[in-house]
Amino acid sequence: MGNKRLALVFVGPGQVTLQDELLEMTDPGSVLVQTYVSGISAGTELLIYRGQFPGDMALDENIPALAGEFRYPLRYGYAAVGRVIDIGPQADPSWAGKLVFSFHPHASHFWAAPQNLLEVPDDISQEEAIFLPNMETAVNFVMDGRPLLGEDVVVFGQGVVGLLTTALLGWFPLRKLVTLDRYARRRAASLELGAHASLESAEDRIDRLYALLPTGADLVFELSGSPAVLEDAITAAGFTGRVVVGSWYGQKRAPLDLGGHFHRNRIQLISSQVSTLAPELSGRWNKPRRFQVAWEMIRRLRPSRLITHHIPLNQATDAYRLLDQQPEETIQVVLEYDR
């Protein structure tokens, strides 16, 4: 390794490369992490891979490793797990040797301030730990949706975050939990995680949904990443129903007809994004508390069962091509690093 690292870089639409980069310690209080595995967030990273991100938007103002804007060449990713192999002269020596999680782009090594790392609990494996961001997101969705006992709930989209959201909802005493997705593999996983029914996203999906829920859903989650599905989510909601929009559409626009069902039925649209907490919860909740809940949900669910592909970092191009061209075969794709 020496003073270099191997980093994944998005260099243009459909183009991913690996670059040797200098590995410099700029902060004497930082620690050096050697990455073992990192999870690809298919929803966000495919927008980047396809060039569908907004060019005038910051990557994530709340994550130091994701400073900057959406612009090629771009380093991205936020689910890295590895071990601290060196510490700066002013760093706490107790960090040495710890297994840690970091919201860091895909790279073989990186220096990080300890306050930007999360120690992985002893009873959680490195492959379970990569699910922390998506589990935190799923926890946030449920907190924003506030499901009630006996409600009918619908989830559009059963990618990783959709499946984790379904699993959390499956532990609630709901009347019915119905999910929708295009791909049979994800629908099967949805049923295993607690959905009472999982429908194919075919042309008659809304008719079949209303056959199961004649008065519409109390609560709907739109997690498909497809703007066209948002109108379906609104249509699925019954009178005064809530629609939690967790998808990030990037540059894609959502065509909506708000003059009929939405207007007459007092549908509520709720934007949910994990970088913050709903203000009304801030009196007792903060991100560390939400992280504690996310770790506990990982313990209960053991989401590594959702990993469908382990791909070496030097084959990352194949990983993104697979996600882009054969999504029906995938759920969670994990990049593995040489040690």
Q: Mark whether 176 and 311 lie in a shared domain.
A: no
Q: Hey, what amino acid is at 217?
A: A
- Cα 233 to Cα 4: distance, rounded to the nearest angstrom: 48
CA–CA separation, 282 and 41 (whole Å): 27
Q: Cβ(132)–Cβ(117) under 8 Å?
A: no
Q: Does residue 286 lie within any of the structural domains? A: no
- pLDDT tens across 253-300, in order? 878 888 889 889 999 999 999 989 999 999 999 999 999 999 999 999
Tell me the pLDDT tens digit for each residue of 28-56: 999 999 999 999 999 889 989 999 877 66
pTM: 0.93
Task: Determine, yes or no, domain membership for 78.
Answer: yes
Co-location of 226 and 200 in the same domain: yes
CB 169 within 8 A of CB 194: yes
- Domain range enclosing 316: 4-120+303-336
Structure tokens at 270: 């709720």
Same domain, 208 and 311: no
- Alpha-carbon distances, residue 59 vs 43, 65, 104, 148, 189 (angstroms): 14, 10, 12, 34, 31
Q: What is the DSSP letter of 337?
A: -
237 SS3 class: strand
Tell me the pLDDT tens digit for each residue of 312-322. 999 999 999 99
pLDDT of residue 249: 78
Please tell me the chain's helix, strand, coil percentages from 3-state DSSP, rounded to the nearest 5.
35, 30, 40
291 in any annotated domain? no
Q: Are residues 164 and 35 in the same domain?
A: no
For residues 45 and 96, state if they share a domain: yes
**152 lies in the same domain as 98:** no
Say if 271 falls within a structural domain.
yes
Q: For Cα atoms 310, 248, 197, give the angle at the middle one, nearest 5 degrees.
A: 70
Q: Which CATH number does the domain housing residue 85 bear?
A: 3.90.180.10
Please, is 291 exposed, middle or buried when counting C-beta atoms within 10 Å of its C-beta (0-12, 13-18, 19+)? middle
Give the count of beta carbons closer than 10 Å to the beta carbon of residue 290. 18
Residues 200 and 241 in one domain: yes
Together in a domain, 160 and 258: yes
Contact criterion met (CB below 8 Å) for 81 and 99: yes
User: What's the structural domain count of the chain?
Assistant: 2
Q: What is the mean pLDDT of residues 157-186?
A: 97
